[in-house]
């Protein structure tokens, strides 16, 4: 994944620079720095640095014998410092990799996206309750009583905090709450 992230940043840097240079003037007609001057400098810097990072990643992959579609390039590789911290605790590198939970990350991201989508349809309070029930049923299975009571009490507390105490109205959904 590191390779793909580096590649994504490199492509983004190119797109940013060329879009900026096509839509903004680098210098004004009087020769002063224009609205595209600073973005231009930032774009050049980004292309250079992300380019070097990309080349470094390719070299590392070549050394390890991996290709861009191989498992090691596609699986998450955590930062070196974290790996050092984990391996210091006595875990082998394989253990550390096994202890990663990319699926759970995807579940949380999907549920957060669902929460944002639900906000305007179901309203603030109901969306929070549904989000918590879903999240806890996946992350904390079989603890139904605890999960349901927590899923009702926490959103109610946040509703009272934001909507009543701070007067920051939460969105109202189809059920009028």
Partner 1 sequence: MLADMIANLGFGLSVAITPTNLLFLMIGAFVGMIVGLFPGFGPAAGIAVLIPMTFGLEPTTAIIMLAGIYYGSMYGGTITSILINTPGESATVASTLDGYPLAQKGRAGPALVMQAIASFVGGTIGVILICALAPTLAGFAASFGPSEYFLIIFFGLLLLTTMMGENKLNGIVSALLGFVIAMVGVDVMSGVQRFTFGSSELIGGIYFVPVAIGLFGIGELLYCVYIGQHKKEVKRVKLSFTSSDFWPDKKDYTESKYTVLRGSIIGFIAGVLPGSGATIGSILGYSIEKKIAKDPEKFGKGEMRGLVAPEAANNAASSGAMVPLLSLGIPGSGATAVLLGAFMMWGLQPGPMLIINDPGFVWGLIASMYLGNMVLILLSIAAIPLFVKFLDIPYVMVLPIVVLLCVIGTYTLHFSMVETWMLLVAGLLGFCMKLYGYSPAATVLALVLGSMAEENLLQSLIISGGSPSIFFERPISLLLSLIVITVIVLPVVLRMIFGKRYEKKAL
| Nearest-angstrom CA–CA distance, 130 and 118 | 9
Q: How far is the CB of 150 from partner 1 (least distance, A)?
A: 7
**Which residue's CB is nearer to partner 1, number 44 or number 70?**
44
Q: How far is the CB of 168 from partner 1 (least distance, A)?
A: 4
Asked if 39 and 24 count as a contact pair (C-beta separation under 8 A), the reply is yes
**Which residue's CB is nearer to partner 1, number 52 or number 59?**
52
Q: How far is the CB of 15 from partner 1 (least distance, A)?
A: 11
Q: How far is the CB of 69 from partner 1 (least distance, A)?
A: 19
Cβ neighbors of 150 (< 8 A, separation 6 or more) are 132, 136
| Nearest-angstrom CA–CA distance, 147 and 137 | 7
| Nearest-angstrom CA–CA distance, 160 and 125 | 10
Q: How far is the CB of 156 from partner 1 (least distance, A)?
A: 12
**Which residue's CB is nearer to partner 1, number 67 or number 99?**
99
| Nearest-angstrom CA–CA distance, 6 and 163 | 42
| Nearest-angstrom CA–CA distance, 111 and 127 | 11
**Which residue's CB is nearer to partner 1, number 166 or number 176?**
166
| Nearest-angstrom CA–CA distance, 50 and 69 | 20
């Amino acid at each position: 994944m590191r390779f793909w992230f580096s590649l994504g940043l490199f492509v983004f840097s190119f797109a940013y620079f060329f879009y900026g240079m096509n839509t903004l003037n680098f210098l004004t007609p009087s020769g002063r720095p224009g609205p595209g001057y600073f973005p231009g400098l930032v774009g050049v810097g980004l292309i250079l640095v992300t380019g070097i990072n990309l080349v470094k990643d390719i070299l590392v992959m070549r050394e390890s014998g991996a290709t861009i579609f191989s498992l090691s390039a596609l699986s998450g590789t955590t930062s070196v410092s974290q790996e050092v911290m984990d391996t210091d605790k006595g875990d082998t590198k394989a253990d550390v990799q096994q202890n990663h939970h990319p699926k759970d990350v995807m579940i949380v991201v999907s549920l957060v996206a669902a929460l944002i989508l639900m906000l305007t349809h179901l309203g603030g309070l109901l969306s929070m309750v549904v989000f918590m029930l879903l999240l806890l049923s996946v992350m904390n299975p079989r603890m139904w009583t605890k999960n349901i009571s927590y899923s009702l009490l926490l959103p109610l507390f946040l509703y009272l905090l934001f909507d009543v105490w701070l007067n920051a109205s939460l969105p109202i959904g189809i059920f009028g709450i």
